[in-house]
Amino acid sequence: MAIISLEGLEFFAYHGVHDFEKEQGNSFIVDVEVKLDVSEAEQTDELSGTIDYEVLFNLVAAEMEIRSNLLEHVSARICEAILAHWQQIKHIKVRIGKMNPPIGAVCKMSAVTVTRSK
């Protein structure tokens, strides 16, 4: 088994419950971690035995473009999209952070982490 991750993916998106968040947007940081058997890739040195980072990024990016109220919802959609694309993934963890969330205090980032296992 191996863990493959993309960390610190930066997006500008329009997620939030407040109207101004939906209009002005915000910066978000996404980390994705998947666990899967890569023994085929270890032996063959072929991409077909693992997952393609570029495809992984594109799946995340597509879900980040869909406006949502809650990061929980976006995180769950990302998990489901990735699991639907690669059946060999056994576990996935998606963390989305909203930079400078509007909470009335100084806060660098709020974050939600969602996991799924098969």
Q: What is the CATH number of the domain that holds 80?
A: 3.30.1130.10
Residue 24: the pLDDT is 95
What are the φ/ψ torsions at residue 116 (nearest 5 degrees)? Answer: -140, 145
Total domains in the chain come to 1
Residue 99: the pLDDT is 97
Residues acting as catalytic residues: 98
46-103 per-position pLDDT tens digit: 999 999 999 999 999 999 999 999 999 999 999 999 999 999 999 999 999 999 998 9
Residue 18: the pLDDT is 93
Residue 72: the pLDDT is 98
Using alpha carbons, list the distances in angstroms from residue 38 to 42, 89, 101: 6, 10, 38
Residue 62: the pLDDT is 98
Residue 109: the pLDDT is 96
Whole-number mean pLDDT of the chain?
96
User: Can you tell me the mean pLDDT for 101-113?
Assistant: 94
State the residue range of the domain holding 80: 2-117
For 31, half-sphere exposure in the C-beta direction (CA atoms, 13 angstrom radius) is 12
